[in-house]
Structure 1
């Protein structure tokens, strides 16, 4: 009976251990949001989803003292890019001026600010086995 209980306990522990999600945590901080109005929206993208809608993971958070931190957890190895925007009016989309320029602040991983829309190749990074931290500037 004792062996049966120990065997069942070992089997259950093993199953629980293998059922946990694998992957890394990506922590993103933005510390130059111009106001605490609205929210910051952030998306983790692959080359297939970049600038085409929702990412493979999406998050939003309220702003406190011009700063936000968002974590993407259990990110599997691969190549990704992060898009972030300050949705000041909380309408869940980027607003543009008549000339096509954005009305709301935005940023990408690697902090490349080029003329024109963000490019995946400028923002991409690799996820391997270690947690990552980024500071994105608006």
Structure 2
């Protein structure tokens, strides 16, 4: 078969495998700063020891926010996020490590500390997935 004919077919097939993840965030405390979001495809990326499948920083405009991640491969992922209200690029904590800024995870786990990947994982289906995430 001619390679010139095969290549476009392969590229079209790859784009058909993309799915969309929509995150609906609720509970943002202040309408200022940014939310930093990471979508991890494995435990290493979720723990900050690997590269996330997708990252996004979004301006906070109110207590609710919708963020879309198009073109992800269907599969298993976990989301982590934090609300950087003061704009210093990190999640601020008190002297014993308790967050002073909002944070959240897929499956709304982690109210008492960072969960494991297996607790926060979900399946992104080919038709797309919408998650509601509470910001603690």
TM-score class, shorter: 0.7 to 0.9
Q: Secondary structure at the match of 1:41?
A: strand
In the alignment, does 2:24 pair up with 1:29? yes
Deviation at 1:33, TM superposition (A): 0.5
Q: Secondary structure at the match of 1:122?
A: helix
In the alignment, does 2:96 pair up with 1:134? no
In the TM superposition, what are the counterparts of 1:1-138 in structure 2 within 5 Å?
A: 17-18=12-13, 20=15, 22-45=17-40, 46-52=42-48, 55-138=52-135
Return the alpha-carbon distance in structure 1 between the equivalents of residues 43 and 11 of structure 2: 33
Which deviates more, 93-102 or 110-119? 110-119
Task: State whether residues 85 and 106 of structure 1, in contact with CA within 8 Å, keep that contact through their aligned partners in structure 2.
Answer: yes
Return the alpha-carbon distance in structure 1 between the equivalents of residues 39 and 90 of structure 2: 16
Deviation at 1:62, TM superposition (A): 0.9
Q: Given the two structures, how large is their TM-score scaled by the length of structure 1?
A: 0.80
Q: Given the two structures, how large is their TM-score scaled by the length of structure 2?
A: 0.81
Task: State whether residues 17 and 74 of structure 2, in contact with CA within 8 Å, keep that contact through their aligned partners in structure 1.
Answer: no
Structure 1 residue ranges without an equivalent (≥5):
1-9
Tell me how large the CA RMSD over aligned residues is: 2.4
Deviation at 1:18, TM superposition (A): 4.2
Return the alpha-carbon distance in structure 2 between the equivalents of residues 48 and 56 of structure 1: 11
- Greater C-alpha radius of gyration: 1
Structure 2 residue ranges without an equivalent (≥5):
none
